[in-house]
Structure 1
Amino acid sequence: MISYHQALESVLARKADFGVEQVSLELANGRVLAEDVLADRDQPPYNRATMDGIALAYHTYEKGVREFPSEGMARAGITQLKLQDPSNCIEIATGAILPEGADTIVRYEDLEEIPEGFRILAGCTPNKNIHRKGSDASEGAVLLKKGHSIDPSAVAVLASVGKATLAVRGLPGITILSTGDELVPVETIPETHQVRRSNVHALRSAVLAAGIRPDLEHLPDDAAIIENRLEALLQTQDVLLLSGGVSKGKFDHLPGVLEKLGVVKDFHRVAQRPGKPFWFGMDAARGCHVFSFPGNPVSTFLNYHLYFLPWLRQTTGAPEPRITAILEEPIENKSDLTHFIPLRLSPEQGHLNAVRISMNGSGDYLSLTKANAFGRVNPGEVLVKGALVPCICFNLQL
C-alpha cells in the first residue's frame, strides 16, 4: 500500500498526448486551446458609443453653446455618419459608430429635448462615453494563448474574431464499466438483494462535463466474460474507468484479469479513506490507461476527482486548481491514512468557509448532494477551527 501523494505522483507519471483536433465553436466550451488566437482587426473595430444620447463636437460646447440642432440618428449596424455642421449634433444609439466630426457623447439623461434638437442640462466632458477603436486590443494581438481553458467568456472572444472552428487538445476515448451481479439497470425495479447502477452514471456525468462522451458498459462477476471484454477494449480505448471488483473478495476478479491481460500494475491500494482499494495501471503496448475504482459510490466519486481529473488536465495542458478553505470546526485525523472529508464550501468576505458534512460511510451517496468539496487531512494531522484545509472541489458554484 502506498500513500496518497505517491499514488498521485505515479498516476501523473503516466503522461499521454492525444494530439490536436479541430472542433466547431459550438463544441469548444470546456476544451483547451492548441493555438494562439489573434485579433483579426482592432478591438473594438471602430469608435463605439457606450451610451444612448447625442454625438457632438466638444469645441462647440467649449464656446458656450448649449443647444444643438439634430442632423439625424446614428444607430448600431449602419455605416458611419458625418456631422455636417459642428454646431449641430447627431443622435446616437449604444453600439453605433461615432460620427465623423464628433468627439463626445452626451447621454439622454443629461439632455432636454427641444423642437429642433437638444439642450444640454449638465456638464459635458470631452471624449466621454466612447469606447475607442483598438483600446482593447490591436489587430494581430494575441487575445487567447495556447493552453487557455475555454469558458463562455473565451467563446465570446473566439466568436468576435471569426473562429468558427479552432484547434484544441485532443481527448482520450473512454469506456466506463461497472461490475457486479447485484447491479441492475436504472429503469429496473430491484429485488431485495439488488441495487441500481449509480456509479457508472455518476462517472458518465462527470466525464461529459470534461467534454468527453464515454461508452457505458456493465459486466457480471464472471472472470471469463470480464477477460474477453477487457481484452477487446484495451485494443480500442485510451482509458478504462472501472467501478467495483478490485477489493479482496472472491468475486473481485479485476486485478487478476488485468494482470493476465498484460496490464502493468503501478499500484493497488492507497493509504486513504475512503477509496483505499484503488487499482491503477497501464497496457503500455496498446496505450490504454486503467483506473479501477472501488465499488462504493463515494470511493468511486472521490478517486475520479483525486486521480483521473488531474491526469486528464495534465494531458490537455489545463491548469490544476489549488483551492483552500477555512474550517468552521476542528478536524483531527488520528490514523495513518489520508482522510478526505466531505465539506460544504461557501464564500464569505473574500474567502471560502468550510462546513463538514456528515457521511454514513463510503456507500452514502446522499452526503455528496450536500457537499461540494473534499477536504484533505493528512495522517496524524490536527486542524483547528479557522485552519486552512486543501480542497478537491466538485459542483462548486460560487
Structure 2
Amino acid sequence: MITYKEALSLVLEQHLEFGTEVVPLTEAYNRVLAEEIHADRDFPPFNRATKDGIALAYEAIENGRLSFEITGVLPAGKPVIPLEEPEGCIEIMTGAVVPYETDTVVMYEHLEVDGDIATLKKIPEQGQNIHLRGSDHRKGERILPKNIRVLAAEMGVLATVGKNRVHVHKTPRIALISTGNELVEIDQTPLLHQIRRSNTYSLYGALQEEGIKPLHLHLDDDLDLMRQKLAYLIDEMDVLILSGGVSKGKFDYLPQVLEELGVEKIFHRVAQRPGKPFWFGKNRNRATLVFSFPGNPVSTFLNFYLYFIPWYFKNLGLGYEPMFVQLRKKIENPSDLTIFIGANLMIEEGILLGEILNSSGSGDLAHLSEIEGFVQLDPRKASYKKGEIVPFIPVKNHKR
C-alpha cells in the first residue's frame, strides 16, 4: 500500500495525447483551446465614442468658444463624416467612429442643445469619452493563450476576431463501467438484496461537466464476460473508469482480469480513507489507462476528483493549483491514513473556511449533494487546530 501523495504522483506521470480537432464556435464552449488567438486588427479598430453627445475639436474651446453648430449626426455602424468647420461639432452616438478632425466627446448631460446649437455647461477635458484605436490590443497581439478553457468570455473574444471555427483539444474516449451482480438499472425496482446503479451516473455527470460523453455500461461479476468486454474496451478506448470489483471479496475479479488482458498494475490500494482499494494500471500495448475505483459511492466520487480530474487537466495543459482552507474547528487524524472529510466553504472576515459536515460513511451517497468538497487531513499525532490551513479538494465549481 502506498501513500496518497505517492499514488497521485504515479497517476500524474502517465501522459496521453488526445489529438486536436476543429469545431464550430458554437460547439467550442467548455473545450480547451489548442491554438493561440491573435488580434486580426487593432482593438478598438478606430477611435470610438463612449458617450452619446457631440464630437468637437478642443482647440475651439481653447480659443474661447462655448457654443457649437451641429453640422451632422453620426450613429454607430455608419462611415465617419468629416467636421468641415473647426468651430462646429458633430452629434455622435456611442460606438460611432470619432471624426478625424475632432479629439473630444462631450455627453448630452453636459450640454444645452437648442435646435442646431450645442452649448457647453462645463468645460470638458481634452480627449475625454474616446476609446482610442489599438488601446486594448494591437493587430497581431496575442489575446488568448492556448490550453485554456473556452467559457463565455472567451466565446466573445473568439467571435470578435472572426474565429467561426476553433482549434481545440479532443476529449478522450472514455468507458464508464459499473460492476457487480447486486446492481440493477435505475428504472427497475430493486429487490431486498439489490441496489440501483448510481455511482457511474454521478461520474457520468462529472464527465459531462468536462465536455466528455462517455460510453456507459455495466458488467456483472462473470469472469468470461468481463474478459470479453474489457478486451474490446481496452482496444477502443483511451481511458477506462470502473466502479467496484477491486476489493478483497471472492467475486472481485477485476484485478485478475485486467492483468490477464495486459494491463500492468501501477498500484493497488492507497493509504487513504475513503477510497483505499483504488486500482490503477496501464495497458502495455495500447497505453489505455484504467482507473478502477472502489464500489462505495463516496469512495468512487472522491477518487474521481482526487486522481482523474488532476490527471485530465494536466494532460490538456490546464492548470490545477491546489486549494487551501482554514479549518473551522479542531479535528484529529491519529490514523496511518490520509483521510478526506466532506466540507462546505464559507467566508468570515475575508477568510475562506472549511466547515466539516457529518456523514454516515463511504456509502452515504446523499451526503455528496450537500458538500462542496473534501478537506484533506494527513496522518499525524498532533491535533489539527481551529484556523489551521489544510488542502481542500473541490467537487463543485472546480474548473481552473
Same fold (TM over 0.5): yes
Whole-Å Cα distance in 2 between the matches of residues 103 and 184 of structure 1?
73
Q: Which runs of 5+ in 1 are unaligned?
A: none
Residue 249 of structure 1 pairs with residue 256 of structure 2: no
1:157-207 deviation digits (Å, cap 9, x = unpaired):
111111122222232100101012222222223333322221111111111
Task: Give the 4+ runs in structure 1 shifted more than 6 A.
Answer: none
Contact 1:373 1:396 in 2 (8 A): no
Aligned to 1:127: 127
Whole-Å Cα distance in 2 between the matches of residues 147 and 122 of structure 1?
50
The 5-angstrom pairing of residues 337-376 of structure 1 reads: 337-376=337-376
Whole-Å Cα distance in 1 between the matches of residues 147 and 350 of structure 2?
28
Aligned to 2:281: 281
Aligned to 1:213: 213
Flag the 1:156–1:332 CA change in 2: closer, same or farther, 3 A: same
Whole-Å Cα distance in 2 between the matches of residues 257 and 68 of structure 1?
87
Residue 43 of structure 1 pairs with residue 20 of structure 2: no
Whole-Å Cα distance in 1 between the matches of residues 102 and 264 of structure 2?
72
1:329-365 deviation digits (Å, cap 9, x = unpaired):
1221111100111111134554422111111101112
Aligned to 1:92: 92
Flag the 1:265–1:222 CA change in 2: closer, same or farther, 3 A: same
Whole-Å Cα distance in 2 between the matches of residues 86 and 397 of structure 1?
57
The 5-angstrom pairing of residues 112-123 of structure 1 reads: 112-123=112-123
> Secondary structure of 1:332's partner?
coil
Moved more, 153-162 or 181-190: 181-190
1:284-314 deviation digits (Å, cap 9, x = unpaired):
2012100001111111111011111111111
AA in 2 matched with 1:369? S
AA in 2 matched with 1:396? N
Aligned to 2:385: 384
Whole-Å Cα distance in 2 between the matches of residues 114 and 174 of structure 1?
70
> Secondary structure of 1:123's partner?
coil
> How many percent of aligned residue pairs carry the same amino acid?
46
Moved more, 233-242 or 20-29: 20-29
Q: Which runs of 5+ in 2 are unaligned?
A: none
Q: 1:321, CA displacement in angstroms?
A: 2.4
Aligned to 1:171: 171
1:201-237 deviation digits (Å, cap 9, x = unpaired):
1111111111211111011122221111101111100
Whole-Å Cα distance in 2 between the matches of residues 316 and 295 of structure 1?
28
Aligned to 2:156: 156
Whole-Å Cα distance in 2 between the matches of residues 311 and 386 of structure 1?
30
Whole-Å Cα distance in 1 between the matches of residues 183 and 247 of structure 2?
17
Whole-Å Cα distance in 2 between the matches of residues 335 and 303 of structure 1?
19
Whole-Å Cα distance in 2 between the matches of residues 190 and 61 of structure 1?
84
> Secondary structure of 2:369's partner?
helix
The 5-angstrom pairing of residues 229-248 of structure 1 reads: 229-248=229-248
Whole-Å Cα distance in 2 between the matches of residues 204 and 96 of structure 1?
48
> Secondary structure of 2:339's partner?
strand
The 5-angstrom pairing of residues 4-15 of structure 1 reads: 4-15=4-15
The 5-angstrom pairing of residues 132-151 of structure 1 reads: 132-151=132-151
Aligned to 1:394: 395
Moved more, 17-26 or 310-319: 17-26
Contact 1:263 1:284 in 2 (8 A): yes
> Secondary structure of 1:89's partner?
strand
Whole-Å Cα distance in 1 between the matches of residues 149 and 107 of structure 2?
38
Whole-Å Cα distance in 2 between the matches of residues 166 and 240 of structure 1?
28
Whole-Å Cα distance in 1 between the matches of residues 132 and 329 of structure 2?
52
Residue 190 of structure 1 pairs with residue 182 of structure 2: no
TM-score by length of 2: 0.95
Aligned to 2:60: 60
Residue 298 of structure 1 pairs with residue 289 of structure 2: no
1:93-130 deviation digits (Å, cap 9, x = unpaired):
22111123111111222223322232222330111111
AA in 2 matched with 1:258? L
Task: Say what the alpha-carbon RMSD is for the aligned residues.
Answer: 1.8
Whole-Å Cα distance in 2 between the matches of residues 119 and 397 of structure 1?
55
Moved more, 340-349 or 136-145: 340-349
AA in 2 matched with 1:366? A
AA in 1 matched with 2:389? L
> Secondary structure of 1:376's partner?
strand
Aligned to 1:199: 199
Moved more, 135-144 or 20-29: 20-29
Whole-Å Cα distance in 2 between the matches of residues 360 and 314 of structure 1?
33
TM-score by length of 1: 0.95
Whole-Å Cα distance in 1 between the matches of residues 103 and 246 of structure 2?
72
Whole-Å Cα distance in 1 between the matches of residues 348 and 42 of structure 2?
39
AA in 2 matched with 1:41? R
Aligned to 1:307: 307
Flag the 1:94–1:12 CA change in 2: closer, same or farther, 3 A: same
AA in 1 matched with 2:203? L
Moved more, 216-225 or 276-285: 216-225
